[in-house]
Amino acid sequence: MASLIELANPARFMRLSNVLLPWVAGLAALLLLVGFYLAWFVAPADYQQGETIRIMYLHVPAAWLAMMFYSMMACSALGVLIWRHPLADVAQQAAAPIGAAFALVCLLTGSFWGKPMWGTYWVWDARLTSMLVLFLLYLGVIALRRAIDEPSRAGRAVAILTLVGSVNIPIIKFSVDWWSTLHQPASVLRLSGPTIHTSMLWPLLILAVGFTLAALWLHAVAMQAELLRRRVRTLKILEAERLDRLSLQAAE
Amino acid sequence: MIAGLGPHGGFILAAYLASGLILCGLAALILLDRRAQRRALAALEEQGIGRRSERKTS
């Protein structure tokens, strides 16, 4: 564990991410291009849902990433509370807006898919409501962080809220099994294998990997921005303290 | 192209448009934020403010 913590050194993270980021961005762009080409020009329309199935290629990766980023935040929260690791706090802070954006994309694309298929933009069923709760949790985490000025206190408070909210992740996943919902049950991540045809499954999986790499790239860039912000803040505080000492010495 | 999407083409395009705006907006905000922080740090270092300035006085 000690070597893992040593690896997560902020300076080492900056060096490593500067090398990896262009490659991750390039691979993500390539996969997204191939995935959208397959999704729009090769994959057939669904026999029941027609062309609206094209919304699935955005909706499903967005839902997976919204849950994945919250799970990443929960792991980072443990890093903050148990090891008080600064990079874990930075990772948690940088992940929240990205997860919120994917949760919003999931909710919006779901609404635009639901209206022609179900006849309504919204219904208070377990899957939709638990996903809305996830989006609100993201907003709560972002608001709590901004409400507390002192970064380490804010980090611990956000970590506790994140861990409490993580109970919602299995609820989202199993909501379609535990309750009778309008939302369809899982068709890809199932123990008995996917029920979706391979002509639609492959574009979906390629896009899911492409979106995941793009989101991880964004996360690393956001972490770099946050590390720089903290460095600027520290330098300003040190400089202010130095000037204070100088003025005190001059007064004496 | 919209006609090729059938009677629900508007919903499909709206889903893609909304997603594109949200994700591109997010990417732009994050990249602009990193650029602003890099500039702020460079400005401080240009003024000679760094951890070394702390060491000199201590």
Instruction: For residue range A10-65, list pLDDT tens digits in order.
Output: 888 888 889 999 999 999 999 999 999 999 999 888 888 888 999 999 999 999 99
Cα A59 to chain centroid distance, Å, stands at 14
Query: Are B44 and A224 in contact (CB < 8 Å)?
Result: no
Residue A150 in 3-state DSSP?
A: coil
Count how many pairs of residues, chain A against chain B, have C-beta atoms within 8 Å. 101
Q: Which residue of B has its CA nearest to A238?
A: B54
Contact A86, A6 (CB under 8 A): no
Kind and range of the H or E run holding A75 = helix A56-78
| Closest Cβ–Cβ partner in B7, B37, B53 for A242 | B53
Pick the range with the lowest mean pLDDT from A7-16, A28-37, A136-145, A219-228: A7-16
**Residue A221 scores a pLDDT above 90:** yes
State the smallest CA–CA distance between residue A241 and chain B in angstroms.
Answer: 9
DSSP B49: -
CA distance linking residue A97 with residue A69, whole number of Å? 10
**Residue B57 scores a pLDDT above 70:** no
Query: Are B18 and A62 in contact (CB < 8 Å)?
Result: no
Q: What pLDDT does residue A184 have?
A: 76
Single-letter residue type at A173: K
CA distance linking residue A117 with residue A136, whole number of Å? 26
What residue ranges define each of the domains in chain A, with the CATH number in brackets? 29-184+196-217 (1.20.120)
Pick the range with the lowest mean pLDDT from A21-35, A81-95, A124-138, B40-54: B40-54
Q: Tell me: the pLDDT tens digits for A83-109?
A: 888 899 999 999 999 999 999 999 999
Where residue B47 falls among pLDDT bands split at 50, 70, 90?
confident
Considering A95-104, A180-189, B46-55, the range whose residues carry the highest mean pLDDT is A95-104
Q: What pLDDT does residue A170 have?
A: 94
**Alpha helices of B1-58 — where are they, by DSSP H?**
9-46, 51-57
CA distance linking residue A45 with residue A248, whole number of Å? 76
CA distance linking residue A98 with residue A66, whole number of Å? 8
Cα A195 to chain centroid distance, Å, stands at 26
Structure tokens of A201?
């499954």
Q: Under 8 Å CB-to-CB from A10, ≥6 apart: which residues?
A: A86, A87, A90, A227
Q: Which residue of B has its CA nearest to A49?
A: B8
Among A239, A150, A152, which Cα is nearest to B41's?
A239
Q: Which residue of B has its CA nearest to A36?
A: B16
| pTM assigned to the model | 0.90
Where residue A206 falls among pLDDT bands split at 50, 70, 90?
very high
